């Protein structure tokens, strides 16, 4: 957990307890349902928690905002972000039921009051709108935008500084993927935020 505290210092006692609890809960559930690779579980706080929180380093979600975590897997980036932003509502969705089972267990263990979850495909989410969609290496940018558009609220014109649209975590050479998407996302190099070896060639892309 020290790696998280190296870059973020302003946690309440409740947030610190929740962050600390992540390790044991994920280890326990990873034995039953493998949602994190065996070699990564020992680097949970760097490769999963801090990686997820890179979004918090570039975007400040205001109180009351509604965020959809699309293809959340075992709860990333949604759960670390929900700990970081306790006054923001996060809805975690994944098409694989056993992954949502892990999310449910983590939410219950941490007593996260600002998280809901759903076993569903992105295109099946109906009658709900979100201010922001977050995602982590789930699909190409073009697909992420196609799935996100129907569930995103229309952002007001004067929302300078307030995040809107899609914010996703990606890795590798993204030139072709961005070009094929037809979008011009803002790209942030995570290694410049957190100069750790594991964040080389890792990026945050945001499309308003």
**pLDDT tens string 158-188:** 666 788 999 999 999 999 999 999 999 999 9
**pLDDT for position 50:** 98
- The answer to whether residue 14 scores a pLDDT higher than 90 is yes
**pLDDT for position 183:** 96
**pLDDT for position 159:** 67
- How much of the chain exceeds pLDDT 70, in percent? 98
- How much of the chain exceeds pLDDT 90, in percent? 84
Label each residue of 32-47 as H, E or C.
HCCCCCHHHHCCHHHH
* Domains: count for the chain: 1
Do the annotations mark residue 71 as ligand-binding? yes
What integer is the mean pLDDT of 141-158?
Answer: 88
- The answer to whether residue 36 scores a pLDDT higher than 70 is yes
**pLDDT for position 18:** 98
Do the annotations mark residue 196 as ligand-binding? no
φ/ψ (deg, to 5) at 35: -105, -15
Structure token pair of residue 182: 């037809």
**pLDDT for position 12:** 97
- The answer to whether residue 120 scores a pLDDT higher than 90 is yes
Q: Which of 88, 6, 87 is nearest to 49 (CA)?
A: 6
Do the annotations mark residue 184 as ligand-binding? no
What integer is the mean pLDDT of 107-115?
Answer: 97
Do the annotations mark residue 122 as ligand-binding? yes
Task: Give residue 71's pLDDT band: very low, low, confident or very high (50, 70, 90).
Answer: very high
Print the domain residue range for 31. 2-207
- pTM, two decimal places: 0.95
Strands 66-70 and 89-94: parallel
**Burial environment of residue 84 by CB neighbours within 10 A (0 to 12, 13 to 18, 19 or more):** buried
Task: Give residue 102's pLDDT band: very low, low, confident or very high (50, 70, 90).
Answer: very high
My answer on whether omega of the bond before 105 falls inside 30° of 0, hence cis, is no
Average pLDDT score over the chain: 94
How many Å apart are CA 1 and CA 155, to the nearest integer? 35
CB 79 within 8 A of CB 109: no
**CATH code of 121's domain:** 3.40.50.150
Q: How far from each other are the two terminal CA atoms of the chain, in whole angstroms?
A: 32
Q: Which of 137, 66, 136, 123 is nearest to 95 (CA)?
A: 123
φ/ψ (deg, to 5) at 167: -125, 115
Do the annotations mark residue 46 as ligand-binding? no
3-state SS, residue 5? helix
- The answer to whether residue 31 scores a pLDDT higher than 90 is no
**pLDDT for position 137:** 77
């Amino acid at each position: 957990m020290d790696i998280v505290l190296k870059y973020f210092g302003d946690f309440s006692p409740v947030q610190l307890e929740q962050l600390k609890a992540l390790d044991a809960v994920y280890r326990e559930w990873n034995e039953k349902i493998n949602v994190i690779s065996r070699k990564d579980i020992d680097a949970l706080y760097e490769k999963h928690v801090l990686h997820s929180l890179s979004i918090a380093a570039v975007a400040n979600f205001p109180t009351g905002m509604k965020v959809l975590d699309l293809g959340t897997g075992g709860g990333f980036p949604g759960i670390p972000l929900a700990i970081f932003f306790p006054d923001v509502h996060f809805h975690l969705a994944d098409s694989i039921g056993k992954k949502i089972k892990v999310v449910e267990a983590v939410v219950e263990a941490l007593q996260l009051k600002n998280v809901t979850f759903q076993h569903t495909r992105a295109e099946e989410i109906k009658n709900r709108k979100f201010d922001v969609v977050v995602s982590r290496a789930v699909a190409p940018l073009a697909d992420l935008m196609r799935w996100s558009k129907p569930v995103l609220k229309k952002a007001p014109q004067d929302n300078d500084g307030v995040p809107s649209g899609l914010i996703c975590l990606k890795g590798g050479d993204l030139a072709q993927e961005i070009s094929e998407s037809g979008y011009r996302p803002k790209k942030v190099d995570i290694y410049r935020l957190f100069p750790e070896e594991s964040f080389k060639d890792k990026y945050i892309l945001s499309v308003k």
